[in-house]
A and B are shown apart, each in its own frame.
Chain A
C-alpha cells in the first residue's frame, strides 16, 4: 500500500562516515526528488530525477551523490558526513516535472551526525 517509502527511518552516525538512504515509489511516477528539512523545519529541494536522469541539482555539495537505478528508485549517498548534515531527508515523487503536479513525500529519514 505504501506509496513512497524510505529506509532507514533513523540514522545515527559519526562525522566523517559515509551513509546511504534509499527511496522507492510504487505510484508509477516519472519524477523523484530529495529534500532536506533542517531543525527549523525549512524544507529545501536538493535533487530531482526524471526517468533516471538528473534534472535538478540545487547547488548541493558534491559529497551528496544521488543515484537512480530505475524510475521507481532514488537513493542518496553522503560521503564524509558533517555535523551540518543532521536533518530530516525526504524523498518525494510526482507524475510530471512541470512544477504543477502534486508531490508525494516519503516518511523521512532522520539523520543525526555526532
Chain B
C-alpha cells in the first residue's frame, strides 16, 4: 500500500520546538518530502530526504531512517505564522507523491 501515518494535530507555543513524525510503507520508496499548507492555500515544499540523516533548512529540519520506515519534521523557534497543516509525502515511481493525511499545527502566543 501507499499509506503514511502522521498525527492529526499538534499544538505548541511560540518559541517552542515541535516534531511531527511520519511512518510509511516501503514499496517503491523514492524518498520522503514535507509540504506546508496554510488554510486556503497551496501545498508548498519544505524539505526532502532521500538518504538517512538530517537535512536542515533554516528553522526547519527533516530526518529520515529508511531502516525504520520513519521520518520527522522538526520545527524550531515556532512562530504564529507556522500554524498550518504539514504533510509528509512518499515519492514513488514516475514522480508519484503519496501524501499522508496531514498534521494540523496550532501555535499559541
Contacts and interface: CB of A to CB of B under 8 A. Distances in A.
B60 interface: no
Interface string B22-51: 000000001101000100011111001010
A44 B98 CA distance: 7
A104 interface: yes
Interface in A57-114: 58, 90, 94, 96-108
Interface residues of A, number: 28
Contacts, number: 68
A41 B101 contact: yes
A17 B58 CA distance: 47
The 7 closest A-B pairs by CB, nearest first: A99-B91, A99-B30, A97-B95, A105-B42, A43-B99, A102-B45, A105-B43
Interface of B: 30-31, 33, 37, 41-45, 48, 50, 85, 87, 91-99, 101-102
